[in-house]
Structure 1
Amino acid sequence: MQRYSRTAIFLHWAIAALLAFQIAVGWALEDLGARGFALYQLHKSVGITVLALTLARIGVRYWKPRPAKLEGGWQGALASGVHIGLYAFMLGAPLTGWALVSTAKVKVPTLIFGVIPLPHLPLPAAAHGVAENGHGLLAWLGIALVALHVAGALRHHLLIRDGLIWRMVPGRSTALLVALPALILVGFVAGRAILPAPQATPAPIAAEPADETAPANIAEAVNAAAPADNAAANATQATADEPVDPPPAWTVQPGGRIGFSVGNDGETISGSFSKWTANIVMDPDHPDSADIAVTIDMASASVGDAYKDGMLPGDEFFGVAAHPTATFVAKGAEATGPNAYRARGTLTLKGVSKPQTIRFTLSGKDETGKDATRKVSGSATIARAPFGVGTGDSSGGLGPQVALTFAFTAKRQD
Structure 2
Amino acid sequence: MARTAFNQRRYSRGAIAFHWIIAVLVIANLIYGLFHESLFKGAGLMPVHMAIGITVLVLSIARLAWRLTHRVPPLPASLPGWEKGLSHLVHWIFYALIILMPLSGWAMTSGGRHPHPVSWFGLFDVPMLPVSGGMAGAGHEFHEIFGYAMAALVVLHIAAALRHQFILRDGVLGRMMPGVEPSGRKR
Normalised to the residue count of structure 1, the TM-score between the two structures is 0.40
User: Corresponding residue for 2:135?
Assistant: 127
- Counterpart CA distance in 2 for 1:123 and 1:108 is 12
5+ residue gaps, structure 1: 179-414
Residue 160 of structure 2 is matched in structure 1 by 152
Question: 2:174 corresponds to which letter in structure 1?
Answer: W
For residues 44-123 of structure 1, the aligned pairs below 5 Å read 44-70=50-76, 71-123=79-131
Q: Write the distance in 2 (CA, Å) between the matches of 1:30 and 1:172.
A: 38
**Secondary structure of the corresponding residue to residue 130 of structure 2:** coil
Name which structure has the greater RCO, CA cutoff 8 Å, separation 6+: 2
Cα deviation digits, residues 51-73 of structure 1 (max 9, x gap): 11111111211232111232342
Cα gap change, 1:87 to 1:44, in 2 (>3 Å):
same
Superposed counterparts of 1:199-238, under 5 Å: none
- Matched-pair contact (CA < 8 Å) for 1:79–1:152: no
Larger Rg, first or second structure (1 or 2): 1
Please identify which structure carries the higher strand content.
1
**Counterpart in 2 of 1:17?**
24
Tell me the distance in 2 between the aligned counterparts of 1:85 and 1:62: 15
Of the structure 1 ranges 19-28 and 65-74, higher mean CA displacement relative to structure 2 is found in 65-74
User: Contact between 2:104 and 2:140, CA under 8 Å: does it hold in 1?
Assistant: yes
Structure 1 or 2: larger helix share?
2
C-alpha distance after superposition, 1:313-340 (max 9, x if no partner): xxxxxxxxxxxxxxxxxxxxxxxxxxxx
Q: Write the distance in 2 (CA, Å) between the matches of 1:109 and 1:123.
A: 12
Tell me the matched-pair count.
Answer: 174
* CA contact 2:75–2:172 (8 Å) conserved in 1: no
Q: Deviations over 1:344-370 (max 9, x none)?
A: xxxxxxxxxxxxxxxxxxxxxxxxxxx
1:45–1:111 Cα contact (<8 Å) kept: yes
After the TM superposition, which residues 272-291 of structure 1 pair with which residues of structure 2 at under 5 Å, given as runs?
none
* CA distance in structure 2 between the aligned counterparts of 1:33 and 1:154, rounded to whole angstroms: 30
Residue 30 of structure 1, CA deviation? 4.2
In the alignment, what sits opposite 2:173? 165
**TM-fit CA distance, 1:32:** 8.3
Query: Any conservation in 2 of the 1:6–1:170 contact (CA below 8 Å)?
Result: no
The equivalences for 1:290-329 within 5 A come to: none
TM-score, normalised by the number of residues in structure 2 = 0.84
Partners of 1:34 and 1:164 in 2: how far apart? Answer: 39
For structure 2, which runs of at least 5 residues remain unmatched after alignment? 1-5
Q: Distance in 1 between matches of 2:129 and 2:39?
A: 26
TM-superposed CA distance for 1:141, in Å, is 0.3
- Tell me what 2:35 maps to: 28
